[in-house]
Structure 1
Amino acid sequence: MSDSSNGHILIVEDEPRLSSVLRDYLLAAGYSCEQIDDGARAVPAFEARPASLVLLDLMLPNRSGIEICRELRERSDVPIIMVTARIEEVDRLLGLEVGADDYICKPFSPREVVARVRAVLRRHQHLPQSPSGPGLTINDQALRASVDGLDLNLTHVEFRLLRTLAARPGHVYSRDQLMDHAYADHRVVTDRTVDSHIKNLRRKLADVGGEDWIRSVYGVGYRFER
C-alpha cells in the first residue's frame, strides 16, 4: 500500500494551482500524494509507485487523459476519477467505456473531490472476492473474464456487472444496486441503460455457451445462475 493510513493518490493535473490545492486537501484528509503535470509521465509514475487512486485530468500536455486511463486499465484495476472542464465530454467519457470509476467537472470544490475519493476507495475496498466456478474465470487485475478459456471481451461496465452478479449466485440485484457497482455517478444512467448493458453481456455469454447464466426477475432486476 502506501506510507499513509488512507492510501496514496496520484494527481495528474497540469494546472499547478489546482494540483497544489488538491494535494493540500488530500494531505489534510490523511492521504499521501504525488503530482504529475505531463501526460507522458503518468503511467511511468504509476508503475514506479502504484497508487491507491488516480485523479486524472482529461486535457493534458503530450498525452490525453483518455489514453492514460485506457493504458492504466490494461495494467491495473486501480480506481480512476477523471477530471474535465468540458461538460460535453461527460457523455463521451461514459460512452467510450474508458474504464474510469467516476468523473468530476470543473470548477469543483476541493472538499467534494475528497468526498468522491473516499467514496470510490470505500466502494473499491468492499468489492466481493473474485467469483469463480466451472468454466468461468474472472481476472480482477487484467479486468478480463473468460469462459472455458474464451475471452468475453467485456467493456469495463460489463465486467463490473458480471463480477457483481457472479460473486453471489442466486442473489437478486435491483437495477439501482447493479449501477452502484457499475457507475459511480448514477444520476446520468437509467433503467434502460442497465438493461442495455445486460443485453450485451448476455449476448457475449451466449457466444461462449453461457446464455442462461443471467436471469431476469420480473419487476426487480437480475440474478446469476448456472
Structure 2
Amino acid sequence: MNAHPRILVVDDDPSVRSMLREYLQGHGFDIAEAGNGAQMREEIGRQPPAAVLLDIRLPGEDGLVLARYLREHHDVAVIMVTASGDVVDRIVGLELGADDYIAKPFDLRELLARLRSVLRRHQGPAPQAGASAPTSTRKPFGRCEVDLDARRMFDAGGAEVALTAMEYELLAAFLANPNRVLTRDQLLLKTRNREWEPFDRSIDIRIGRLRRKIEPEPDGDPRCIRTVRNAGYMFVPLK
C-alpha cells in the first residue's frame, strides 16, 4: 500500500466531507473532495485516487450511476455510503461492483477499518525489495483462467475479465479450497475480515456476479460454484 493513499470523498454535504478529511488525514491519507458527479470526474482526471467513498444520495447523478461509471472506466476501489435503511441501494451498489458499503450514521473507526481492508484487497501484497519477478501462475476457474500473481482473470479467448477486489478474494478462497463447502461466515472472514450478519446478502450477490463470468452456462444451473443448501458454497473444478 502506498505511504499516503489518495482517497476521494464524494458527498454533497460539506460538513461530512470536512469531517472525513480531518479524520482520514490524521491517519495518513491524502484526501480529495467532490460534491457531485462532475466534480468527481474532474478530481479523478487531475489525479486518480486509490479509493472513492461514494455517497448514494447525490444531486443530479446519484451514487449508483457514478458507481457504474467508476467500475467501467477506472481501476479504483469503491465504498458506497448509504442511509441506514437503504438495503435495496446497498444490493444494487454491490451488483454494480462496489467493493464494500457502510451505512450512515457510521463510526469513523469502522469506516477506517473497512477502507484499509478494501485497499489491501484492491492493491494486493507489495513486492519484496530485491525479489525477482514471479512466474505467472494461471489456474482454471470455470470457463476462465485466473492469474494469481497478477490478480487477473481471462476468458477462453484470452480477453481479460474485469474483477473487483472482493471477487478476486472469493476466487482465491475457492481455489484454495476445491470441493470443500465454505460457509458465508468463512467467506466473509476470508474476504472482508468480518463475520456474516443476518440478512447480509453481499456474499450471495458477489457469487451471482462471479457465476455470470465463469460458469460454462451462465443462464443454466451452476456447475463450478455450487450452492450447498443450508451450508454455503462449494467450488467444483471442471473436468
Q: Shared fold (TM-score greater than 0.5)?
A: yes
Does residue 189 in structure 1 map to residue 205 in structure 2?
no
1:1-226 alignment, distance < 5 Å: 5-85=3-83, 87-95=84-92, 97-126=95-124, 132-133=138-139, 136-137=144-145, 147-149=155-157, 159-160=167-168, 163-165=171-173, 167-168=175-176, 170=178, 172=180, 174-175=182-183, 176-180=185-189, 186-187=196-197, 188-189=199-200, 194=204, 197=207, 201=211, 205-207=215-217, 212-214=223-225, 221-226=233-238
CA contact (8 A) 2:225 2:233 kept: no
Structure-2 separation of matches of 1:199 and 1:62? 28
Structure-1 separation of matches of 2:162 and 2:208? 11
Percent sequence identity over aligned pairs: 31
Deviation at 1:18, TM superposition (A): 1.1
Structure-1 separation of matches of 2:10 and 2:206? 33
CA contact (8 A) 2:99 2:166 kept: no
Secondary structure in structure 1 of the residue aligned to 2:106: coil
Secondary structure in structure 2 of the residue aligned to 1:207: coil
| Structure 1 gaps, min length 5 | none
Deviation at 1:11, TM superposition (A): 0.5
Deviation at 1:70, TM superposition (A): 0.8
Secondary structure in structure 2 of the residue aligned to 1:45: helix
Say if 1:56 and 1:184 are closer, same or farther in 2 by CA, change over 3 A. Answer: farther
Secondary structure in structure 2 of the residue aligned to 1:119: helix
Q: What letter matches 1:222 in structure 2?
A: M
Structure-2 separation of matches of 1:199 and 1:57? 23
Structure-1 separation of matches of 2:213 and 2:23? 45
CA contact (8 A) 1:38 1:62 kept: yes
CA contact (8 A) 2:178 2:234 kept: no
Question: In the alignment, which residue of structure 1 is the partner of 2:131?
Answer: none
Deviation at 1:195, TM superposition (A): 10
CA contact (8 A) 1:172 1:217 kept: no
Task: Give the TM-score of the pair, scaled to structure 2.
Answer: 0.68
Q: What letter matches 2:237 in structure 1?
A: E
Structure-2 separation of matches of 1:189 and 1:171? 24
Secondary structure in structure 2 of the residue aligned to 1:206: coil
Moved more, 8-17 or 112-121: 112-121
CA contact (8 A) 1:154 1:201 kept: no
CA RMSD of aligned residues (A): 4.4
Deviation at 1:132, TM superposition (A): 3.1
Say if 1:126 and 1:62 are closer, same or farther in 2 by CA, change over 3 A. Answer: same
| Structure 2 gaps, min length 5 | 126-133
Structure-2 separation of matches of 1:95 and 1:131? 33
Secondary structure in structure 1 of the residue aligned to 2:235: strand
Deviation at 1:110, TM superposition (A): 2.7
Say if 1:39 and 1:165 are closer, same or farther in 2 by CA, change over 3 A. Answer: same
Structure-2 separation of matches of 1:220 and 1:90? 22
CA contact (8 A) 2:6 2:31 kept: yes
Say if 1:184 and 1:60 are closer, same or farther in 2 by CA, change over 3 A. Answer: farther
